[in-house]
Amino acid sequence: MTTNAATDPMIGRMIDQRYRVRSRIARGGMATVYLATDVRLERRVAVKIMHGHLADDQAFRERFIQEARSAARLSHPNLVGVYDQGAEDDCVYIVMEYIPGITLRDLLHEHRALTPEQATDILRAVLAGLASAHRAGIVHRDLKPENVLLADDGRIKLGDFGLARATTANTATGAALLGTIAYLSPELVTRGAADSRSDIYALGIMLYEMLTGEQPYKGEQPMQIAYQHANDTVPAPSAATPGVPAELDDLVAWATARDPRDRPRDAREMLDHMSGVQQRATGQYRTAVLRPENATAILPSGGSAGAAGFGGHEPLEDASEHDTTVLDRRGTDETAAAPQRGRSGGRSAPGPRRTGAVAAVLSPAGQRLADKSAKRRKRGWIALVVVVVLALVGAGVAAWFGPGPGGNVRIPAVAGKTVSQVRQLLESNGLTAAAATSSRPDAAVEAGRVTATQPPAAREVRKGTAVRIVVSSGPRMITLPTIVGQSVTTAQAALDDDFDLQDAQYQFSADVAADTVIAATGRDGDGTVDLTTVEQYPEGGPVTLTVSLGAVPDVTGKTVDDARAALDEVGLALGAQTQQFSDDVPQGQVISATVTADPAVEGTAVDVLVSKGPVPITLPDVSDQTIDQARSSLEGLGLEVTYPKCTNILCGFYDWESKLPVRSTDPAPGTTVHKGDTVTLSYDQ
C-alpha cells in the first residue's frame, strides 16, 4: 500500500527536530510504524507513533510508554532494539531499530508450511530473545507470526512489546486482554492471568502453524476460538502434515498443555530442551571443529643402513652442517676388515687416514650430524609436497564454490517480468526454474506477470537451486464500505489501508453538508468507474473522493464589499458586476448572484447584479389639469400626491377637486424624481 503525503500528514514531518519521517511501514490497532531518518546520527530507524485519537486516552498513552520502557530494558541479538521515546504536541512516539525484511507471517503466506529444520531454527531464535525478556521479568503477552521479523541478512528478531508487562503484574482483565485470540493461552481466556508460561503456549501454537501451515483452532467468531483454547487439546502437527518428527509433536504438546504447570516454566527451559530435540528431529548433529593446540608430524625414519654399514658406528646426523668426510678404498677396506683381524690375530684395527682437513672415517658425532641432515632434507620435500597438495585442494574448492557448480548466487529481482523471461534469467544465473508455478494476488503487478520467487529475490542460494516462480493473479478484490454520506475522515480511514487514495476533490453543494462525501470514483481498463455502483474493487486501486464544501453563500441584499468578503471566505471569487434600477433593493446592494460553473469549486467566480436604486422619473407638467386629473397622472407614475384642502365656503356646494385647475407643482415640472417621492399641488381657491 502506498501512501502519499496528502493522505498521511506524518510523512515528511520532522519529529523532535531529529527524526525525519519518510514513509509508512505498517499500521496496527494502537499505532502506525514509519520509516524515518535520524538526522543526528544519520541512520534509518523505525518510528512507532500512537494513533491521534488514542493519544488523549491516558490508559492507552501509559500502555504505549510502557512498551518503550519494557523493550528498552532488554538487549539481545534476537530482540528489536529501542533507541528513544518521547512526545511532541499530539505525537507520542517510540524510536526503534529498523529491520528491513519480512515477518514470519509473510513467510508463512508464501510457503504455507515450513520444514522441521526451518521451524526449529526460527523457534530457537525466538526462544533465545524471549528467554532474555523472561530473565528480566518481562512477559511479552502478544506472541504471533506478525511480531517475528526475518531480516534480509538472515537475522531473526522478536519485536512489539506493546502488551508486555512485568511478571509480578500478571493479571489482564477487561480492556487489557488484547492479545491475538488465536494465540491466547487457556488461563488468559478463562482467568485473564498471564505469566511466562502464557508466552510458551503462544510459541507452541506458532510452532504448530509453522509445521502445518494453519492454526489448530478455527471459528467464525472469536469466542468459538477462545472456547477451543480453554477446553480442547492442540492436535499433533503430524496428524495434519505427515512426516513431522515425533519429537516436534511432543514439543508442541508440552508447550500447549492446558494446565500451565505442565508446560516449560519459561523460554530458557524450552530452549535448553530444544538442543536435543533439533538433533533428533532433523537427524543433524552440528559439530564444532576446533583447532588443535599441538599437531603431531610423523616423519620417515632413516640411518639404519648406516649403522650396519659402518661397523657399529652411530647413525649420521646432519652431515651437511659439517665438513665432508672422504673415505678412500683402502681405509674402507681396512675399516671393514678390522673386526675380523681383531678376532683372529688379536690386533687392533689401524686408524683412519685423513686427507688434509677431511677425516678418512666418520666419528660418532659426525655420523649423527649426517643422519640429521638427511632427515631434514626428507622433511623439506614432504613439506613441499603438502603445500602443493593443499594449494591444489584450495584452488579446487575455490573453483567449486566460486564460479563452479558449488558456488552461491543471489536470486535476481523478477517482479513485473513474464514467466519466460524469468526462466531465462534464472538459468543465466546458474539456477533452475521449478516446473510448477504458484500464484498470489498482487496489487502492483498485473495479472499473468511474475510477482515474486520462492526463495525470494536477493536471497543467496547454492547454484543449481530450484526456484519456484510466483505469478500475480492481479489485485485482490475487496468489498467496498459505505462511502457516500460519510464524513471525509471516516471514509478515508475505511479506505486507506486497502486502496490508493488520491487527492480528494471538493465542490459546493446546496444539498450536502460540508466535509461530507458526495461521490467516489475509481479507474479500470475502460476509464472512470462510479464506485457507488459496484460492490467490490481491486486492492490498491485508485480512489478519488468528491467532498462537499457546503452551499454557496447567499450574498443577496449585501453590499458589493460584503459580498466579496463572504465569497473569499469559502474560496470563491467575485465575478462580473452589472447594475440595474430596482424599486425594491436599495442602491449599492446585490439584487441577485449567479455561479458561473456547475458544480462550483474553489476559485469559481460568482457574478452579481447590483441595484442602482429606483427608476428616475421626470416630473411632467400637470398645470391646467384639474386636481383629480393631476393626481391620477402622478400616482400612475408611482409618486405620492398631496394638496391643501379648499377653504372657500363655496367648495362645500360642488366637487371642487374635479373642477379646480392645478396652478403649479412642487417640485416644478421637469424635475427628476423617483417612485415614492411626494409631489405637492397648488391651485386657486
Residues classed as catalytic? 142
**Residues 6 or more apart from 439 whose CB is under 8 A from it?**
470, 471, 472, 473
Check residue 659 and give left, alpha or beta (phi > 0: left; psi -120 to 50: alpha): alpha
Q: Which three cell numbers stand for residue 546?
A: 468528491
Measure the CA–CA gap between 207 and 264, rounded to whole angstroms. 15
Q: For the chain, how many helices (H) and strands (E)?
A: 17, 32
Measure the CA–CA gap between 274 and 203, rounded to whole angstroms. 13
The owner of cell 356646494 is: 653
The owner of cell 528431529 is: 281
Q: Which three cell numbers stand for residue 254?
A: 508440552
Residue type, 34: Y
Measure the CA–CA gap between 577 and 560, rounded to whole angstroms. 9
Instruction: List residues bridging with 213 in a β-sheet.
Output: none
**Residues 6 or more apart from 87 whose CB is under 8 A from it?**
93
Short-list 539, 398, 417, CA closest to 470: 417
Short-list 364, 387, 366, 381, CA closest to 300: 381
**Residues 6 or more apart from 672 whose CB is under 8 A from it?**
616, 617, 618, 619
Short-list 565, 544, 543, CA closest to 553: 565
3-state secondary structure of 634: helix
3-state secondary structure of 579: strand
3-state secondary structure of 272: helix
3-state secondary structure of 535: coil
Q: Which residues of 540-568 are buried (b: 16+ CB within 10 A; e: fewer)?
A: bbebbbbbbbeebbebeebeeeebbebbe
Measure the CA–CA gap between 315 and 303, rounded to whole angstroms. 5
Short-list 166, 217, 175, CA closest to 194: 166
Short-list 172, 189, 171, CA closest to 225: 189
In this structure, are residues 249 and 243 in contact, taking their beta carbons and an 8 Å threshold? Answer: no
Measure the CA–CA gap between 397 and 501, rounded to whole angstroms. 55
**Side-by-side strand order, sheet with 678-683:** 640-642, 678-683, 662-666
Measure the CA–CA gap between 16 and 86, rounded to whole angstroms. 8
In angstroms, the Cα distances linking 461 to 6, 112, 606, 675 are 41, 20, 68, 99
In this structure, are residues 210 and 103 in contact, taking their beta carbons and an 8 Å threshold? Answer: no
Short-list 194, 184, 260, 172, CA closest to 223: 184
Measure the CA–CA gap between 624 and 663, rounded to whole angstroms. 6
In this structure, are residues 604 and 636 in contact, taking their beta carbons and an 8 Å threshold? Answer: no
Measure the CA–CA gap between 232 and 226, rounded to whole angstroms. 10
Short-list 445, 414, 440, 446, CA closest to 427: 414
**3-state helix vs strand vs coil in the chain, percent to 5:** 35, 25, 45
The owner of cell 503466506 is: 109
